[in-house]
Amino acid sequence: MSHETGTDLQRFEYSVKTRGWMKFDAAIPEELCDRMRVDIARHVHRCGALQVKAGIPGAPDGTAHHTVGYGDSLDEFLERGYLDEYVRKFFGGPYIVHAFNPVTIQSGGRNYVHRIHKDVRTYSNGFRMLLNMLVMVDPFTLDNGATYILSGSHHEATAPIEDFFFQHAERIVGSVGSIVLFDSNVWHAAGENYSGKSRTAMTLSFSRPFIKPQMDYARLLGAERGARLSDRMRQLLGYNAGVATDLDEWYRPAGSRMYRPDQG
């Protein structure tokens, strides 16, 4: 680790402890963001049809969920490991994908991300369970609904009063490809989009390997698909932190057990 990287990690650690978040400007190439925008639109359309079929109120709402394993630019983004050293610093070791959910907010549109919320239901009182990663596939501006974030609120178990939140929260603006990492206990909300154009983002979260993810990605993709993945993707998608479902899976030699000993 270079001195510069070490200093950056110290700055990140201080920022996360005090404010709960840190922004990294233009961390992803615009070329990749251009392809992600196209692929996200396809996923939003596909998931929107599933939402309507399921009878979900307000569907389609511009969101998509668990868009991993389709062999497109979103898998490429995950494979590249942007800010991996910072995520590892946050957890102090290995981590997995907890959720992988793109969202597009149409001008004048609303969905659940506009509520004041945090992305972990359990208040962990300083124990780091989850980390959010917000990727600005489009620029985030005041006009198109840049996220509100209440610095330091990861130290509070209860939701802030709405008036207090909007009076004191900061707006996260940034250029295409910027990334925000924030403790999932931080209270935040999407802003209103009045720009006349849609605003696309990639919202994902990471967790410690022993915390149950929103989707069992390893079983979703299957063992055969998993065998073809890189070591990094196997780690991220939970292949090294699997839970046995029968005794044949439980009684395995140490080197082939579904939950590896280095996962914490």
| Residue 114 reports pLDDT greater than 60 | yes
Token representation of residue 220: 């979703």
**pLDDT, position 203:** 97
pLDDT at 155: 95
Structural domains for the chain: 3-215 (2.60.120.620)
Q: What is the pLDDT of residue 98?
A: 98
State the average pLDDT over residues 157-173. 97
107-127: average pLDDT: 91
Within 10 A of 143 (CB to CB), how many other CB atoms are there?
Answer: 17
pLDDT reported for residue 81? 97
**Alpha carbons 49 and 52: distance in angstroms, whole number:** 5
**Among residues 230, 221, 259, which one has the least CA distance to residue 243?**
259
pLDDT at 2 over 80: no
* 34 band by pLDDT with thresholds 50, 70 and 90: very high
From the list 201, 190, 194, the residue with the least C-alpha distance to 117 is 190
pLDDT at 3: 44
First-to-final CA distance of the chain: 23
pLDDT band at 4 (very low <50, low <70, confident <90, very high): low
Neighbours of 228 (CB within 10 A): 9
The pLDDT of residue 5 is: 67
- Distance of alpha carbon 85 from its chain centroid, rounded? 16
User: Cα 114–117–118 angle (5° rounding)?
Assistant: 135
Distance CA 96, CA 206 (A): 6
Mean pLDDT on 244-258: 88
How far apart CA 213 and CA 197 sit, in angstroms, is 33
Note every long-range contact of 50-58, with CB atoms under 8 Å and residues 24 or more positions apart, other chains counting.
58/111
Task: Find out whether 130 and 120 touch, Cβ atoms under 8 Å.
Answer: yes
Alpha carbon separation from 42 to 39, 104, 224 (Å, rounded): 5, 11, 26
